[in-house]
């Protein structure tokens, strides 16, 4: 869903932070914001008096999305795109999401199963997205049923806001959100499978491995 506004979002991102920045620098800042998100989820569990820090997570999440939009935009504009850059970008996306959601486990250890459900769904969804490029007429699948990367960022920000502002039945509310996120992410993965197969329908296909056919 939110992928539909990626174009306007990239234009906003370009105006927000492009002065002299390279694609690698944008990727590096994206990693820094992932680390900051993890920190503001973890620190309040060790030092309760800093519970207000979780309220900074939405800001870091938004900045991470900006950096993620910028790295690809700058790589294309500066003609610095490379296979290594694409591999790093894909890995940082899926590992970053896994870490951000995974660090919620420090604040909500009883929600371990729900978090694993979401994280496995993220890997499934993003694996299918990349797998789409290997099929005939293949493209990186960004189809979404409210379970793509931008939506997952919104849900994570919502959880952070609840952590900073809500005490009443907080764990139960977060659990409900995580279950819904997991369902939407898995649905998105299945939807991407359907769209990828539909996009390659009727085209010749030959399976190859390192050892031949």
CATH number where 105 lies? 1.20.120.1760
Within a domain: 53? yes
Q: Which tens digit of pLDDT belongs to each residue from 69-84? A: 888 777 777 788 888 8
In terms of Cα–Cα distance, which of 195, 70, 72, 76 is closest to 131?
Answer: 195
> Can you give the residue range of the structural domain that contains 154?
2-199
Q: What's the pLDDT at 1?
A: 53
Per-residue model confidence as pLDDT tens for the chain (213 residues): 555 555 665 566 666 555 677 888 888 999 999 999 999 999 988 888 888 888 899 999 999 988 888 887 777 777 888 888 888 888 999 999 999 999 999 999 999 999 999 999 999 999 999 998 888 888 888 899 999 998 999 999 999 999 888 878 999 999 999 999 999 999 999 999 999 999 888 778 777 777 766
In the prediction, which pLDDT does 6 show? 55
Backbone angles phi, psi at 212, to 5 degrees: 105, -160
Write the DSSP string, 31-80: HHHHHHHHHHHHHHHH-GGGGGGGGGHHHHHHHHHHHHHHHHHHHHHTT-
Domain assignment present for residue 213? The answer is no
Burial class (CB in 10 A: 0-12, 13-18, 19+), 60: buried
The tally of domains found in the chain comes to 1
8 Å CB contact between 82 and 38? no
Answer whether residue 205 is part of any domain: no
User: What per-residue confidence (pLDDT) applies to 48?
Assistant: 84
**CA dihedral of residues 55, 60, 66, 68 (deg, nearest 10):** -130
Alpha-carbon distances of 80 from 27, 28, 57, 72, rounded to whole Å: 13, 15, 31, 9
Q: Is residue 211 part of a domain?
A: no
46, part of any domain:
yes
pLDDT at 4: 57
């Amino acid at each position: 869903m939110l992928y539909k506004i990626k174009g306007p979002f990239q234009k906003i991102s370009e105006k927000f932070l492009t002065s002299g920045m390279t694609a690698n620098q944008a990727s590096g800042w994206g990693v820094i914001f992932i680390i900051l998100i993890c920190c503001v989820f973890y620190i309040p569990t060790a030092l309760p008096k800093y519970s207000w820090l979780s309220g900074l997570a939405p800001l870091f999440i938004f900045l991470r999305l900006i950096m993620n939009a910028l790295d690809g935009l700058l790589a294309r504009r500066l003609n610095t795109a490379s296979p290594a850059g694409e591999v790093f970008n894909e890995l940082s996306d899926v590992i970053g999401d896994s870490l951000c959601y995974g660090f919620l486990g420090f604040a909500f250890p009883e929600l371990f199963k729900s978090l694993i459900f979401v994280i496995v769904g993220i890997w499934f969804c993003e694996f299918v997205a990349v797998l789409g490029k290997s099929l005939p007429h293949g493209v990186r699948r960004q189809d979404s049923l409210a379970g793509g990367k931008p939506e997952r960022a919104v849900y994570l920000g919502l959880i952070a806001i609840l952590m900073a502002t809500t005490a009443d039945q907080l764990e139960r509310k977060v659990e409900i959100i995580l279950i819904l996120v997991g369902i939407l992410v898995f649905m998105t993965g299945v939807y991407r499978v359907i769209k990828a197969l539909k996009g390659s329908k009727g085209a010749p296909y030959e399976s190859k491995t390192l050892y031949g056919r």
